[in-house]
Amino acid sequence: MYMNAFSNALSQLKNSLDIKDEYDKRLFDILQKPQRVVTVAIPVRMDDGSVKVFTGYRVQYNNFRGPYKGGIRYHSQVSESEVKALAFWMTIKNAISGVPFGGGKGGIKVDPKKLSQGELERLSRAFIREIAQNIGPDIDIPAPDVNTNSQIMAYFTDEFSKLKGSWQPAAFTGKSVDQGGSLLRTEATGLGGFFILEKIAKKYKLNPGKTTIAVQGFGNVGYFFAKFAHQAGYRIVAVADSKGTLIDTSGKGMDPDKILETKREKGLNSGCYCRGSVYDCSGKVYRSQSAEKVLYQNVDILVPAALENVITSKNASRIKARYIIELANGPTSYEAEEKLNKKGKTVVPDVVANAGGVIVSYFEWVQNKSGDTWKKEYVRGRMKEMMNEMTDNVIYTAEKDNISLRAAAYRIAFERIKSAFLFRI
C-alpha cells in the first residue's frame, strides 16, 4: 500500500459529514474503529511437503443495520489497514444501497498465482476453520473479492458446512449457481457499474457512440463493465491490467471479448487465476504501453477497476477524463479527489458505483434463506431498480447541499446507520 488506506477512509467520512447533535458525534466516534478484528495464522502444507504460514484477516466493522457483509481477497498487499478500510467502505456501501447488512471484509496476504490448485484449496479451507466461530448466515456473510471467485466460495461453503454438520449455503455469497448462487452474481459489480454509466450519460447528455472509456483493471469487474458498455455502443479505447495498457488505434473501439480470449489463451492457473495480460493482445490494432498509462488517456470516462490508491495527489493533475467511475474500492485518495473536484471533474464514488455486487449478494442470501430461485430477468430488474434509486438519491443530495457525490453518499449512509443506532441506545 502506498498510503494508509484506513486513514484515507476515515478522512472521507470526516470531510463528508455535518455533525449536528450529540448522536451524530457519538456515532461518528463509534465509526472510527471496527467492532472486531480477527487476525489468524494459517499453516498450509505445500505441494513440496513444506509448511508455510499465511496471515489472514476478518474485520467486522459495524453491524447496526444487520449481519456483517463483505468479500475476502487474496493478494500480496493485504494488510490490517487495508482490510479495515475495506470493511468500513462496506459499512457505508451497504447502508447507501439499502441492503440490510453491516460491513465486514477479509483477506489473506498471499500471491495466489504462485499456488497450485491444491494449495489454494488447502489454504481456503484452513482459513475458514480459523474464523468459523465468527461467521455464519446471521452473523457475517463473506463473498468473493480480488483474486477469489465461485470456486473459492465453494471451498469455503463446503468446509463451513462440515464444521456445522449441515449444508449452509446462506453463509457465503458469490457461489456458482449449482452451489446455490444467484444468477447474475458473477457479472453483478460490472453490470452495476454499467447502470451507473447509463445514469451519467443521461444526466450529462453523453452520446454512447462518441463517448470514450478507459478501464484500469481487466479482471472480473473491469471485463464485465467493458463488455456491457461495448454492447451498448460506448467506445472502449484503452484497457489495462498489472502488466500493461492496450490502446485502440482502429478508431472503432475495443471488443472486450476478444481481449479476454487472448488472456485465456495465455494461460489460466487451474481455472481460477489468469496469468495472461492484456499487454499480450498487442498487435496491428492495439498499441501497448506501461500499465499506469491507462490513467492518463484523453478519454471522457475513466474506470478504475483494480486496487486501492491508484489516483493520488501526485498523479491527479495528469487525469484527463471528465468523469471517473470507481469500480475498485478506494482507488482515489482524499487529497486527489479534492484536486479533481477543483478541476470540475465528477467522481462517482466506489460506495455507489460498485454496489451491484453486494446488492446481488443480498439477493443470493435471500434466496438461500428461503430456498427460492429467482430468474435472471427478475434479478436484473430488481438490481437496476435499486441501483437507480440509490444513484438518484445521491445526485439529489449532492445538488441540494452543493457537495460532491461522495459526500452525499456518506451523509445518506450515516443517517441510515444512525437510524438503526438510535434504536440500540
Q: What is the model's pLDDT at position 8?
A: 84
Which of 180-184, 250-254, 370-374, 384-388 shows the lowest per-residue confidence on average (mean pLDDT)?
250-254
pLDDT above 70 covers what percent of the chain?
A: 95
The answer on pLDDT for 2 being more than 50 is no
Q: For 316-332, how does the pLDDT look when each residue is reduced to its tens digit (9 = 90+)?
A: 999 999 999 999 988 99
Q: In which band, very low, low, confident or very high, does the pLDDT at 266 lie, cut at 50, 70 and 90?
A: low
Three-state SS across the chain?
Answer: CCCCHHHHHHHHHHCCCCCCCHHHHHHHHHCCCCCEEEEEEEEEECCCCCEEEEEEEEEEEECCCCCEEEEEEEECCCCHHHHHHHHHHHHHHHHHHCCCCCEEEEEEECCHHHCCHHHHHHHHHHHHHHHHHHCECCCEEEEECCCCCHHHHHHHHHHHHHHHCCCCHHHCCCCCHHHCCCCCCCCHHHHHHHHHHHHHHHHCCCCHHHCEEEEECCCHHHHHHHHHHHHCCCEEEEEEECCEEEEECCCCCCCHHHHHHHHHHCCEECCCEECCCHHHHCCCCEEEECHHHHHHCCCCEEEECCCCCCECCCCHHHCCCCEEECCCCCCECHHHHHHHHHCCCEEECHHHHCCHHHHHHHHHHHHHHHCCCCCHHHHHHHHHHHHHHHHHHHHHHHHHHCCCHHHHHHHHHHHHHHHHHHCCC
Q: What is the model's pLDDT at position 271?
A: 47
Q: In which band, very low, low, confident or very high, does the pLDDT at 21 lie, cut at 50, 70 and 90?
A: confident
Which of 53-67, 77-91, 135-149, 264-278 shows the lowest per-residue confidence on average (mean pLDDT)?
264-278
Q: What is the model's pLDDT at position 283?
A: 60
Q: What is the model's pLDDT at position 320?
A: 96
The answer on pLDDT for 363 being more than 80 is yes
Q: What is the model's pLDDT at position 287?
A: 81
Q: In which band, very low, low, confident or very high, does the pLDDT at 269 lie, cut at 50, 70 and 90?
A: very low
Q: In which band, very low, low, confident or very high, does the pLDDT at 395 lie, cut at 50, 70 and 90?
A: very high
The answer on pLDDT for 1 being more than 50 is no
The answer on pLDDT for 282 being more than 90 is no
Q: What is the mean pLDDT of residues 70-98?
A: 96
Q: What is the model's pLDDT at position 112?
A: 96
Q: In which band, very low, low, confident or very high, does the pLDDT at 18 lie, cut at 50, 70 and 90?
A: confident
Q: What is the mean pLDDT of residues 66-92?
A: 96
Q: What is the mean pLDDT of residues 239-256?
A: 87
pTM exceeds cut of 0.75? yes
Q: Chain-wide mean pLDDT for the chain?
A: 92
The answer on pLDDT for 209 being more than 90 is yes
Q: What is the model's pLDDT at position 139?
A: 98
Q: First and final CA of the chain: distance in angstroms? A: 37
The answer on pLDDT for 273 being more than 70 is no
69 or 274, which is more confident? 69
Q: What is the model's pLDDT at position 179?
A: 93
Q: What is the model's pLDDT at position 9?
A: 87
Q: In which band, very low, low, confident or very high, does the pLDDT at 249 lie, cut at 50, 70 and 90?
A: confident
Q: What is the model's pLDDT at position 191?
A: 97
Report the C-alpha gap between 264 and 256 in whole angstroms.
12
- Contact, 31 vs 62, CB < 8 A? yes
The answer on pLDDT for 110 being more than 60 is yes
Q: What is the model's pLDDT at position 270?
A: 45
Q: What is the model's pLDDT at position 56?
A: 98
Q: For 43-66, how does the pLDDT look when each residue is reduced to its tens digit (9 = 90+)?
A: 999 999 999 999 999 999 999 999
The answer on pLDDT for 87 being more than 90 is yes
Q: What is the mean pLDDT of residues 112-119?
A: 96
Q: Which domains does the chain have, with CATH numbers?
A: 35-179 (3.40.50.10860), 188-348 (3.40.50.720)
Report which of 292, 297, 343, 294 is spatially closest to residue 317, judged by C-alpha positions. Answer: 343
Q: What is the mean pLDDT of residues 128-148?
A: 96
The answer on pLDDT for 358 being more than 60 is yes
Q: What is the model's pLDDT at position 259?
A: 84
Please identify every residue annotated as catalytic.
Answer: 105
